[in-house]
C-alpha cells in the first residue's frame, strides 16, 4: 500500500486508535456472564441486529478485500465486475441453509461448526477431518490478512519496506490476539461494529476525493478504452469464453465457500434470535452494491491513472491513489489517516474472527474429543486461548516469508477450494436426511485430496491453477458429491434414524 509516510501526529492518532481496540477487549471481558465456551466463542448467543449485521459485513468484506480486489481489477480489467455476482451469491447461499442451521443450533447447543456435523452424522472421521480442513483453510485466510497488514505498513514508515512489513505484521497481530483473547467474540463483534461504521463513512468520503482528484468515471473508462485499442491489452473488452467460465467458477466457489466460513457459521449461532438473523441477512443483500461498487470504481480509476504495476505489486494500486489524495490537501491527508485506522482494524477484526474460530475447533473438537474428553469448559477455553497465541506466532512467520511470493487473490483462492468440499455435509445433509456420515466422509477426503493435487500438481490440463477456467475445488466437488450420494443410497433405512431425529427437531 503506497502511501506517504505518516508524521508524528498521524502516528499518534493511529496508535491511539489501535490501542483503543485493546480497551474494547477489556470491556468485553468485563461483560462476560460466565466462563463457558458459549459465552466466549458465541457472545452468549446474544448478538443483536446492528452488531450482527456489521460483524457479518466485516467478516465478508475485510480491509484486505479492498486491496486484493482493486489489484485484481488492475490486472484483469472490466471483467472483474463478476466480483459483484459472487459476493451476492454468498447471501443467496446463506438463505439456503443458515435459518435451518440456526434453529438446530439453538435447540441442540452448538458452539462450533463441527458440533452440527457430529450431531447430524455421528461420524468421528467426518467431524475430525472437517475440523482439520477448516483450520487449514482459515490459517490460509489468516496469512492473507497478515500479509495485507504488512503491506499496509510498508508505505506508512520511512524504514526499509521489508522491515516495515515485518513490523506491521508482528505488532498488529499482537494487538489483535490480545483483545481477542480478552473478550472473545464480543470483542471481535464490537470492534467490527466500530470499524464497519468508520469504513463505510471513510470509503464514501474517499470516493468523492477520488472523483475530485482524478476526474469522472467516464473519463477513466475512455482512457482505458483508448489505451486498450492502441496496445490490445484486452482490459476494456467483454469477457471471452474462458473468462466467462472463470466468472461462473468464482460465483460458485465463493458463494458456497464464503458462506461456509467457520466464523460465519458461528455468527449464525450467535444471533440473538431468528428474526435478528433473517434481518441481518436481508440487509447483507445490499452490501455487494455498496462495497463492490466502491471497489470497482476505485479499481477503474487506478487502471486509468496508475501505471507500471504488475503481479503482486498491483495490490498497491488503491494505496497509490490514496497517496494522491494525501498530497492534494490537508483534509485529504487526514481522511486517509482515518481510513487507514479503519482498514487496519478491519483486517485485524477479520483475522481475529478466523483465529477465534480455529481456537474453538482445536480446543473443543480436537483437544476436547481426542486428548481430554473430561476437560471442563473453562479448561477448554484456556486451551483455545493458548492455541491462538501459538498458531498466530507460526502464521506471522509464514506471512513474512511469503511477502514477495504470491498475490492476495492467489492465496485466497486456495481456501475456497477446501471449504466447498463441505457442501455435501452441510447443505445436502441439511435437506436430505438419507445422507450417510461414512459416505460423506469418504467423499469429503477424496474431494480435498483431488483439489490439492489439481491446485499444486503439474498437469497439462491445468492452467493458472484452474481446469478449463474452473477452480480445482469445484472440479473435485463432483466426485465428492458422487461418492456421498452413491454411498448413502446403498445405506439400509434403519441407520437413518439419527437424521430422522434431527429432521423432526428442525421442523
Can you give the residue ranges of every domain in the chain? Answer: 8-409
Residue 493 or 95, more confident: 95
Most confident of 157-171, 315-329, 463-477: 463-477
For residues 38-59, average pLDDT: 85
pLDDT reported for residue 498: 54
Counting residues of the chain whose pLDDT is more than 70, the rounded percentage is 90
For 463, phi then psi, to 5°, come to: -130, 125
Contact 113, 272 (CB under 8 A): no
User: What pLDDT, on the 0 to 100 scale, is given for residue 5?
Assistant: 61
Instruction: Check whether 472 has a pLDDT greater than 80.
Output: yes
Distance CA 132, CA 359 (A): 11
Q: Virtual CA dihedral for 51, 84, 62, 210, nearest 10 degrees?
A: -110
What average pLDDT does this structure show over 45-67? 80
pLDDT band at 135 (very low <50, low <70, confident <90, very high): confident
Provide DSSP, 417-463: HHHGGGHIIIIIHHH-TT--HHHHHHHHHHHHHHHHHHHHS--TTEE
Please determine, for residue 116, whether its predicted confidence score (pLDDT) is greater than 90: yes
80: how many CB neighbours lie within 10 A of its CB? Answer: 27
> Taking each helix axis from N to C terminus, what angle separates 113-121 and 437-456, rounded to the nearest 10 degrees?
130
pLDDT exceeds cutoff 60 at 185? yes
Q: Which helix (H) or strand (E) holds 97?
A: helix 82-108
pLDDT score of 495: 46
**Confidence check: pLDDT of 442 > 80:** yes
Lowest mean pLDDT among 92-101, 156-165, 287-296, 479-488: 156-165
Q: Which residue has the higher pLDDT, 428 or 154?
A: 428
Confidence of residue 476 (pLDDT cuts 50, 70, 90): very high
pLDDT in tens, 12-24: 888 888 888 888 8
Residue 153 CA to residue 172 CA, distance in Å, equals 10
**336 vs 50: which has the higher pLDDT:** 50
Radius of gyration of the chain (CA): 23
Taking the alpha carbons at both ends of the chain, their separation in whole angstroms is 50
Cα–Cα distance between 252 and 161 in angstroms, integer? 37
Provide the CATH number for the domain formed by 8-409 in this structure.
1.20.1730.10
Task: Compute the distance between CA of residue 132 and CA of residue 455 in angstroms, rounded to an integer.
Answer: 19
Identify the pLDDT of residue 443. 94
Picking from 480, 469, 468, 407, the residue whose alpha carbon sits closest to that of residue 440 is 480
For residues 160 and 182, give the distance between their C-alpha atoms in angstroms, rounded to a whole number. 33
Q: Which residues contact 463 (CB under 8 A, 6 or more apart)?
A: none
Whether 56 has a pLDDT exceeding 90, the answer reads no
Question: Across the chain, what does the average pLDDT equal?
Answer: 82
Q: What is the pLDDT at residue 482?
A: 94
pLDDT at 3 over 60: no
What average pLDDT does this structure show over 198-219?
Answer: 81
Locus of grid cell 455468527: 267
Q: Which of 124, 123, 142, 146 is nearest to 134 (CA)?
A: 142
One-character DSSP codes across 376-407:
-HHHHHHHHHHHHHHHHHHHHHHHHHTTTT--
Q: Are 123 and 440 in contact (CB under 8 A)?
A: yes
**Residue 435 cell numbers, joined:** 445422507
pLDDT digits (tens, 9 = 90+) for 125-134: 899 899 888 8
Give Cβ neighbours of residue 83 (< 8 Å, ≥ 6 apart).
69, 72, 250, 292, 295, 296
Query: Residue 379 above 90 pLDDT?
Result: no
* pLDDT beyond 50 at 344: yes
- Cell numbers given for 190: 464490537
Distance between CA atoms of residues 42 and 268, nearest Å: 9
Q: Does 447 have pLDDT greater than 90?
A: yes
Is residue 406 scored above 70 in pLDDT? no
Cα 52 to Cα 46: distance, rounded to the nearest angstrom: 10
The DSSP secondary structure of 243-302, one letter per residue, reads HHHHHHHHHHHHHHHHHT-HHHHHHHHHBSSHHHHHHHHHHHTTHHHHHHHHHHHHHHHH
Q: Copy the grid coordinates of residue 384.
A: 483455545
- Rounded Cα distance between 154 and 395, Å, is 19
Amino acid at each position: 500500500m503506497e502511501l506517504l509516510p505518516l508524521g508524528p501526529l498521524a502516528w499518534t492518532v493511529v496508535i491511539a486508535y489501535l490501542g483503543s481496540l485493546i480497551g474494547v477487549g477489556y470491556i468485553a471481558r468485563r461483560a462476560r456472564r460466565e466462563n463457558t465456551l458459549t459465552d466466549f466463542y458465541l457472545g452468549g448467543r446474544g448478538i443483536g441486529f446492528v452488531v450482527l449485521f456489521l460483524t457479518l459485513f466485516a467478516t465478508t468484506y475485510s480491509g484486505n478485500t479492498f486491496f486484493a480486489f482493486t489489484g485484481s481489477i488492475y490486472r484483469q480489467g472490466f471483467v472483474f465486475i463478476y466480483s459483484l455476482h459472487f459476493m451476492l451469491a454468498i447471501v443467496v447461499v446463506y438463505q439456503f441453509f443458515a435459518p435451518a442451521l440456526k434453529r438446530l443450533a439453538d435447540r441442540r447447543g452448538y458452539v462450533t461448526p463441527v458440533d452440527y456435523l457430529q450431531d447430524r452424522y455421528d461420524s468421528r472421521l467426518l467431524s475430525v477431518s472437517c475440523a482439520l480442513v477448516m483450520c487449514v483453510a482459515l490459517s490460509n485466510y489468516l496469512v492473507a490478512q497478515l500479509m495485507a497488514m504488512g503491506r499496509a505498513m510498508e508505505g506508512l514508515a520511512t524504514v526499509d519496506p521489508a522491515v516495515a512489513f515485518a513490523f506491521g505484521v508482528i505488532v498488529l497481530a499482537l494487538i489483535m490476539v490480545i483483545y481477542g483473547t480478552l473478550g472473545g467474540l464480543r470483542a471481535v463483534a464490537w470492534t467490527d461494529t466500530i470499524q464497519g461504521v468508520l469504513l463505510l463513512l471513510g470509503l464514501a468520503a474517499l470516493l468523492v476525493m477520488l472523483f475530485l482528484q482524478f476526474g469522472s468515471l467516464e473519463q477513466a473508462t475512455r482512457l482505458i478504452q483508448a489505451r486498450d485499442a492502441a496496445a490490445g491489452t484486452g482490459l476494456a473488452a467483454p469477457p471471452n469464453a474462458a473468462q466467462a467460465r472463470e466468472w461462473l467458477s468464482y460465483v460458485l466457489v465463493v458463494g458456497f465457500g464464503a458462506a461456509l466460513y467457520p466464523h460465519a457459521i458461528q455468527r449464525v449461532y450467535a444471533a440473538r434470535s431468528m428474526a435478528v438473523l433473517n434481518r441481518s441477512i436481508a440487509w447483507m443483500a445490499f452490501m455487494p452494491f455498496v462495497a463492490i461498487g466502491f471497489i470497482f470504481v476505485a479499481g477503474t480509476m487506478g487502471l486509468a491513472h496508475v501505471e507500471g504495476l504488475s503481479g503482486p505489486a498491483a495490490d498497491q494500486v488503491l494505496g497509490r491513489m490514496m497517496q494522491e489524495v494525501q498530497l492534494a490537501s490537508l483534509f485529504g491527508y487526514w481522511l486517509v489517516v482515518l481510513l487507514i485506522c479503519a482498514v487496519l482494524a478491519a483486517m485485524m477484526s477479520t483475522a481475529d474472527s478466523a483465529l477465534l474460530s480455529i481456537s474453538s475447533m482445536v480446543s473443543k473438537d480436537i483437544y476436547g474429543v481426542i486428548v481430554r474428553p473430561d476437560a471442563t469448559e473453562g479448561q477448554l477455553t484456556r486451551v483455545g486461548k493458548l492455541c491462538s497465541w501459538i498458531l498466530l506466532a507460526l502464521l506471522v512467520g509464514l506471512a513474512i516469508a511469503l511477502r514477495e511470493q504470491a498475490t492476495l487473490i492467489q492465496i485466497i483462492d486456495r481456501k475456497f477450494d477446501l471449504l466447498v468440499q463441505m457442501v455435501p455435509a452441510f447443505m445436502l445433509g441439511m435437506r436430505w436426511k438419507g445422507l450417510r456420515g461414512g459416505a460423506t466422509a469418504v467423499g469429503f477426503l477424496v474431494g480435498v485430496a483431488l483439489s490439492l493435487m489439481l491446485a499444486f500438481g503439474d498437469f497439462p490440463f491445468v492452467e493458472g491453477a484452474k481446469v478449463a477456467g474452473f477452480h480445482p475445488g469445484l472440479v473435485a466437488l463432483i466426485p465428492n458429491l458422487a461418492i456421498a450420494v452413491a454411498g448413502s443410497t446403498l445405506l439400509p433405512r434403519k441407520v437413518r434414524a439419527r437424521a430422522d431425529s434431527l429432521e423432526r427437531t428442525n421442523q
